[in-house]
Amino acid sequence: MIELNLKKPFLDLDGNVSEGDDMGKVLARALMIGNEGDPCQMMDWALFFHRGETVQLDSSGFDKLKGYIENSKSLVNFAKGRLLQEMKAAKNGD
């Protein structure tokens, strides 16, 4: 299982903490307004991420969430890139 906790701030291009919501809340919002994927699964993930909890993902869930982020129309590339970096680090145990 891969443990993913996104209760972390976004860092801007200079490496400084960005103002606004943390990674988990941004992803939670995208999951709730999206129309892709299993609605119940997306809602569950959104609730966990919004509360700042660690989500345990098997390889299938990891791939689904990764694909969702990559194809999301509601996330900008900056957010997608940072989220995908965090997922990669979690997968590698960093």
The per-residue pLDDT for 59 is: 94
Q: What are phi and psi of 78, to 5 degrees?
A: -60, -50
Percent of the chain residues past pLDDT 90, beyond the cut: 78
The per-residue pLDDT for 79 is: 93
pLDDT single digits (tens) 43-86 = 999 999 999 999 999 999 999 999 999 999 999 999 999 999 99
Query: pLDDT averaged over the chain?
Result: 92
Distance spanning both ends of the chain, measured CA to CA: 14
Q: Which amino acid is it at 61? A: G
| Sign, Cα dihedral of 76, 80, 28, 13 | negative
Between 49 and 15, the more confident residue is: 49
- State how many domains the chain has: 1
- What domain range includes position 83? 2-8+18-91
Q: Would you say residue 34 lies in a domain?
A: yes
Q: Would you say residue 13 lies in a domain?
A: no
CB of 10 within 8 A of CB of 16? no
The per-residue pLDDT for 13 is: 85
